[in-house]
Structure 1
C-alpha cells in the first residue's frame, strides 16, 4: 500500500485516449472527457435567471431537480457567473426594504469565494417557499463547492435535505485526493494552514485567513505539496485557462443585474431571450477565420433568461426601469441583442431550465470563437 507521501496521480488528458490497450474496443466504463486548458482566459460568460422559477415547482423534489439541472448546464458550458434576480414586485420591495440589514438568508456566494462564512448559510429554516431566490442560490453554491469542502462550508440545513438527489458536477476543481493539479481549492483551518483535500495540510505564507475561509492555492511543484501560494479564485482561469467553477450572485430587480456587475467596465455584450426575439441564425454567422480559439470579440458576455411570464414581467416590476420610462414592450432596449433561442418550438412554453440549455447551446459558437456576430469584422 502506498504511504501518505506518495505522489498523486497527475490528471492526464490522453491516458489511453479511453481505449483498452488489450483490445480494439473503446473503454467506456469511466469518463474520459477531461477538461483541457488552452492557456489563460480573460473573457467570461455569465447568465442571469429569476429565482421565481423555483416557486413554479410544486414539490421539494421538483425544486431540487430544477436547481440540479441548471447547475449541470453551468458546469457543462463552463459558465463563470450565475446571477439570480427577482422578477416579481413583492420580492423587489422586500429586497429594497431589507437592503441595509444583515439578513441571515443571504446566500454565502453573494460574496466572493474567498469570503464565504459558515454563518452565512444558516437562515432560520427551509426557504424554497418563503424565499425561492435564496433557496436556488444556496443549492447552486453547494453544488459548485468541491465535495471535500462542503462539510466545512455548508453546515446541516433544511434547504439541503434533498442533497442526495442533486447531481454531481465533477468540474475541474472537484479534484480527488489522488489527482494532481497546480491549483486547488481549500479551506483555512488556521491563519496560514489550508486543508485542500490532500492527506497533508498546505502551508500558505503569502496571506493570512480566518478559519473556514475558502482559499484557492497554487503549488510551485508536485514535489512540494505541503507548500503553496494563495491566489485569487480567478487565477486558474486567467493564468492557465482552467474552468474553475462559477460564482453565484444574488441581486434585486433586473436593472441590478447590470448595475452590480463585478467586472470592470460591466458586461460589454448582452443577450436577452424571448420568443419575440430574432432567431440566432440572423444574429450569428460562422467565422471564416481559423476555426475558433482566438479573440472571441467580447470581454464579459451576459445572457439573461426570463421566468414563466418572460423578461417583460421583470421589466414591469422593476421600479427603476419604470422611472426611466422603459415599458415591458420595450424590454429589448436593455440588451445588445434580443434573441429567440428556438424558433418554431413545438410546446407552447419553454421552461427556464430548458431555455438555459438551449441558449448556451445556441451561443456556444460565439463563446468558442467559431461564430461571430453579423456585422462584426
Structure 2
C-alpha cells in the first residue's frame, strides 16, 4: 500500500516572512511523516504563487526537513532558502524497516563524501566518522550522491553499500495529473470543503479500499482551494463524486485531472478557514483508520 500526499507550490503564499513559511512547511512534513506517507509531492500552482515562496523554495525546505539529522550539514550546507530551518519541528521518523535502527543488519541513509580508486568510496552515514566501502558490481556512485548502507556491526564497524531504496518519506515535484496517473496511486482523493462530507458509514467503506489499494490525497492552498487551482466550479466539485467513487452524473467536471472522489473531512467547520497543514492532520487521521 502506497500513500502519496500532494500539496500545491503556492502552499506558503500567505506567509508574512521566510520564518513563518518555513515553520508552516515543517508542519506539512510532520503531518506526512506522522501518517506514514511514502511520498510528499509538490504540484505546480503558478497562478497562486506570490513570488517569494515558490515551488523551488517549498521543495527545498521539505527535502531538508525529510533529510536525516546526521546528513543535513553534509547534504545541504548553507542555502538562502534554508535561513530559518532552525524553526522546523523535528520529524523523528520511526522506521518501518529498521533503517534508523542501531541493531545488526540495519539500513541507514548515507551520502558519498569522496570517490577513491579501486572501486572504493567514503560515506557519511551517521557514524562517528565517514567509512570506506567497496562499491558493488554494476553500481555507480558519485560524490554527493545519497546511498543506502547496511550495517552489520558497529564495534568493529562492518558495513556495505546496497542497491536498494529505503522506506520513508520522499519529496518530489511533479504535475498533479502525473501524480494521479501513477499505477500505485490507489484511491485518488481531493480534499475540499466543497466535497462530499465524510461520515462514519462512508469511512467504513472507504477505509477498506485505502487499506487494500493505498491512496493519493491532494490539498489546496490558503485562500485557494483545489477548485480554484483547477478552475472547477465549487458546486461541481461537490457533485463530482458518488458513493462508489465514480461521478454522480457520469460527467467528469471540466479541469478535474482524475480524482475518484472529492471529500470534506472537516464538515461543519467552526473556523472560516482550515489551513492546509490542519486539513492534512484531519484528513490523514481519518483515512489512516483501519477497516
Task: Report TM bin, short chain.
Answer: 0.7 to 0.9
Residue 146 of structure 2 corresponds to residue 188 of structure 1: no
Give me the TM-score of the superposition, normalised by structure 2: 0.78
The answer for the alignment partner of 1:267 in structure 2 is 185
Question: In structure 2, what is the Cα distance between the partners aligned to 1:135 and 1:287?
Answer: 34
Tell me the C-alpha RMSD between the 2 structures: 3.2
Question: In structure 2, what is the Cα distance between the partners aligned to 1:51 and 1:314?
Answer: 11
- Secondary structure at the aligned position of 1:296 is classed as helix
What is the deviation of 1:129? Answer: 3.7
The answer for the alignment partner of 2:245 in structure 1 is none
Contact 2:179-2:185 within 8 A present in 1 as well: no
Deviation digits for residues 177-223 of structure 1 (CA, Å, limit 9, x no counterpart): 99346111111123433221113515144134111111112234566
The structure 1 segments of at least 4 consecutive aligned residues displaced by more than 4 Å after TM superposition are 175-178, 220-224, 327-333
Structure 2 gap segments, 5+ residues each: 233-250
Question: In structure 2, what is the Cα distance between the partners aligned to 1:279 and 1:190?
Answer: 54
What is the deviation of 1:46? Answer: 0.6
Write out aligned runs for 1:48-67 (5 A). 48-67=6-25
Question: In structure 2, what is the Cα distance between the partners aligned to 1:269 and 1:202?
Answer: 44
- Secondary structure at the aligned position of 1:189 is classed as strand
In the alignment of these two chains, the number of paired residues is 259
Are residues 190 and 88 of structure 1, via their aligned partners in 2, closer, same or farther at CA, if it must alter by over 3 Å? Answer: closer
Question: In structure 1, what is the Cα distance between the partners aligned to 2:202 and 2:76?
Answer: 42
Residue 128 of structure 2 corresponds to residue 199 of structure 1: yes
Among 228, 242, 252, the alignment partner of 1:313 is 228
The answer for the alignment partner of 1:219 in structure 2 is 151
What is the deviation of 1:310? Answer: 1.3
Contact 1:279-1:343 within 8 A present in 2 as well: yes
Question: In structure 1, what is the Cα distance between the partners aligned to 2:87 and 2:99?
Answer: 21
Structure 1 gap segments, 5+ residues each: 1-42, 92-127, 238-243, 318-326, 372-377
What is the deviation of 1:233? Answer: 2.0
Question: In structure 2, what is the Cα distance between the partners aligned to 1:202 and 1:177?
Answer: 20
Question: In structure 2, what is the Cα distance between the partners aligned to 1:270 and 1:222?
Answer: 43
Residue 274 of structure 2 corresponds to residue 350 of structure 1: yes
Among 260, 263, 266, the alignment partner of 1:339 is 263
The answer for the alignment partner of 2:235 in structure 1 is none
Contact 1:185-1:217 within 8 A present in 2 as well: yes
Question: In structure 2, what is the Cα distance between the partners aligned to 1:186 and 1:145?
Answer: 10
Write out aligned runs for 1:129-148 (5 A). 129-148=51-70
Are residues 303 and 334 of structure 1, via their aligned partners in 2, closer, same or farther at CA, if it must alter by over 3 Å? Answer: same
- Secondary structure at the aligned position of 2:280 is classed as helix
Deviation digits for residues 53-111 of structure 1 (CA, Å, limit 9, x no counterpart): 211111222111111111111221111101111234487xxxxxxxxxxxxxxxxxxxx
- Secondary structure at the aligned position of 1:256 is classed as helix
What is the deviation of 1:329? Answer: 5.5
The answer for the alignment partner of 2:202 in structure 1 is 283
Query: More strand per residue: 1 or 2?
Result: 2
- Secondary structure at the aligned position of 1:343 is classed as coil
- Secondary structure at the aligned position of 2:148 is classed as strand
- Secondary structure at the aligned position of 1:232 is classed as coil
Deviation digits for residues 119-177 of structure 1 (CA, Å, limit 9, x no counterpart): xxxxxxxxx8445211111111001111111112102111111111111111236x999
The answer for the alignment partner of 1:152 in structure 2 is 74
The answer for the alignment partner of 1:170 in structure 2 is 92
Contact 2:180-2:259 within 8 A present in 1 as well: no
Question: In structure 1, what is the Cα distance between the partners aligned to 2:26 and 2:270?
Answer: 25
